[in-house]
Amino acid sequence: MLRNGLEPWHLLIVAIVVIVLFGSKKLPDTARSLGRSMRILKSEAKALKEEGGSGAAPGEQTRPTAPADAG
């Protein structure tokens, strides 16, 4: 029955509903806010991935080791 998930007219209906709900004046602000949120989410996910690669579990703090005495 549903070979193609979204047809072009589905997207048109969704666009019309979004414009009616938010109004054409608030759409740029809403899109800008959504873009900022996505950017923050991506940077946080990247930071977690880099932190996880260091061997520590997420949320676990690593303690620096004390240098060995040379004397």
Residue 58 CB partners (closer than 8 Å, separation 6+) = 48, 51, 52
pTM across the whole model: 0.47
Which tens digit of pLDDT belongs to each residue from 12-63?
Answer: 999 899 888 888 888 888 889 999 999 999 999 999 999 886 655 555 555 5
> Which residue in 33, 64, 56, 31 sits closest to 47, CA to CA?
56
Q: Locate 67 and state its tokens.
A: 């240098």
Extents of the domains making up the chain: 24-51
Residue 52 CB partners (closer than 8 Å, separation 6+) = 58
Cα-trace Rg, the chain: 24
pLDDT in the model for residue 3: 65
